[in-house]
Amino acid sequence: MIVIGLGTVWILDGLEVTIVGNLSAQLAKPGSGVEITQAQVAGLAAALYVAGACTGALFFGWLTDKFGRKKLFIITLLVYLVATAMTAFSFSAWWFFLFRFMTGFGIGGEYAAINSAIDELIPSRHRGRIDIIINGSFWLGAAAGALLTVPLLNNFAVNVGWRIAFGLGVVLGIGILLVRRHVPESPRWLFIHGRGDEAEGIVRGIEDEVERETGERLEEPQQEMTIHTRHSIGFVRIAHTMVALYPKRTILGLSLFLGQAFLYNAITFGYAQILSTFFKIDTNAGYYFAVICVGNLLGPLLLGPLFDTVGRVPMISATYIGSGVLLLGTAWLFNQGVLTAVTLTACWCVVLFFASAGASAAYLTVSEIFPMETRAMAIAFFYAIGTAAGGIAGPLIFASLVETGVPGNTALAFTIGAIVMIFGGIVELFLGVKAERKGLEEIAAPLSAATAAAKS
């Protein structure tokens, strides 16, 4: 229930990003119902979506730590549903831009509320692989979006197909909302906020269900902690926690998010534009993108368990540096003009097999290495800063470089993404935290704990 109710938000995000990227050429055609260029869809609209996501992450992240995980992961999904529905009814460029921003606003809030809830509800020995696989499910939605756009673009009128594509996102979101109503609040959040009886009721219910299914009684916890309950935490305390108590972890989080945000946002929003500009592939771009999605999905699925066994530091650094090096090779081949649409897609499939696992681990990292009271806000902060730098600038720069039709300019964008990704992997080598198979309170003691110790 937790995995389906909460994890499926990444399927929605993947659906949204891919649909827009693959619809860019169709939206730019005469008669689409919206006067807009392909560069505006892949560039400005993409940047506004990411800007909305950054803003939503910060706004809803603060509310998530203040009012609870469950309330906010319901509210943020409703914001997404309304904004996506309004996007389907776009009649002009400004309306399309506005509701792309609002769709991102809802999705950004989801990241903070959902990642914090998942990590607080999943057992520590499985937390790494579950979190990485859930984050990697983004590409299941991306593959679905890529494949859906092909029949929608080929079998419907130019002003109808893209509207149906957005409408399908609403249908999927409603299904997720129905499941999500039954997901419990985080017992950790309830306890720290003075609602111990409710927290105990949730945990006891889970224990009773496990005992009924297995016939065995669970072992009692071996550690205890004294908590001073609190109802809110101010921005000053949050800033102090990240800058004074955990400065090295803050640098680590920023480095990981900058690397993956620039690489993914630039390429995800712009791949259809590359196919259209260099290989004259228009309505069938979804097939190529679906292949890339397979590589992205297999990475977290196959490599995810290693983050709990081999460990966080070696796996994160290897996936970041490895994908960056492979991307440099792809940039060189593209600049030499030896790649076709098929071979370029194959190269990206290999690059993103490793990058996807690493990028998913970035969300896991910032979620588990900071105290519980600041978890949602920490996720929001790193997502917003990293994505604002890489996700807003990336699509704008990338779209303008690809639009020139000069292979060297596109290869330059690949190279920048690769270098930033490699840098993130190097930072992980020196500042990474060995969080595998450890309880969240062992990694970072709650600020409300009577014996909370400061450490970097």
90: how many CB neighbours lie within 10 A of its CB?
A: 22
The four Cα atoms 286, 289, 291, 295 give a dihedral, to 10 degrees, of: -150
Instruction: Give the pLDDT score at 29.
Output: 86
Is 124 within 8 Å of 439 (Cβ atoms)? yes
Distance CA 222, CA 47 (A): 48
Is 433 within 8 Å of 369 (Cβ atoms)? yes
Tokens 């957005």 sit on residue: 166
Tell me how long the chain is: 456
Token pair for residue 168?
């399908």
Instruction: Give the pLDDT score at 122.
Output: 86
Is 50 within 8 Å of 266 (Cβ atoms)? no
Distance CA 361, CA 364 (A): 5
Q: What is the pTM for the complete model shown?
A: 0.83
pLDDT tens across the length of the chain (456 residues) = 777 777 777 787 777 767 776 677 778 888 888 888 877 887 788 778 888 988 998 899 888 888 888 888 889 989 989 998 999 999 999 999 999 999 999 988 887 777 888 888 888 888 999 989 888 888 888 788 777 777 887 888 888 888 988 888 888 888 888 878 888 888 989 988 889 999 999 999 988 988 998 888 888 887 888 888 876 677 778 888 888 999 999 999 999 998 888 777 656 556 777 888 888 786 666 788 788 888 989 999 999 999 999 999 999 999 999 999 999 999 999 999 999 989 999 999 999 999 999 999 998 999 999 998 888 888 888 888 877 776 667 767 777 777 788 888 888 888 888 999 999 999 999 999 999 999 998 999 888 886 544 444
Q: Which amino acid is at 47?
A: A
Q: Which of 12, 14, 21, 162 is nearest to 89 (CA)?
A: 162
Instruction: Give the pLDDT score at 454.
Output: 42
How far, rounded to the nearest angstrom, does the alpha carbon of residue 337 sit from its chain's CA centroid? 32
Q: What angle do CA 72, 21, 3 make, to 5 degrees?
A: 35
Q: What angle do CA 313, 111, 300 make, to 5 degrees?
A: 45
Q: Determine phi and psi for 216, rounding to 5 degrees.
A: -120, 145
Instruction: Say how many CA atoms lie within 13 Å of 210 toward its Cβ.
Output: 10
Distance CA 97, CA 150 (A): 23
- Alpha carbon distance, N-terminus to C-terminus of the chain: 35
Tokens 């440099």 sit on residue: 328
Token pair for residue 330?
């792809």
Is 263 within 8 Å of 421 (Cβ atoms)? yes
- Which residues lie closer than 8 Å to 161 by C-beta, 6 or more apart? 26, 149, 152, 153, 155
Tokens 């920048």 sit on residue: 416
Is 68 within 8 Å of 192 (Cβ atoms)? no
- Which residues lie closer than 8 Å to 240 by C-beta, 6 or more apart? none
How far, rounded to the nearest angstrom, does the alpha carbon of residue 277 sit from its chain's CA centroid? 28
Reduced to 3 states (helix: H, G, I; strand: E, B; else coil), residue 227 is strand
Q: What is the DSSP letter of 218?
A: P
Is 237 within 8 Å of 447 (Cβ atoms)? yes
Token pair for residue 202?
């949730």
3-state helix, strand, coil in the chain (%, to 5): 80, 0, 20
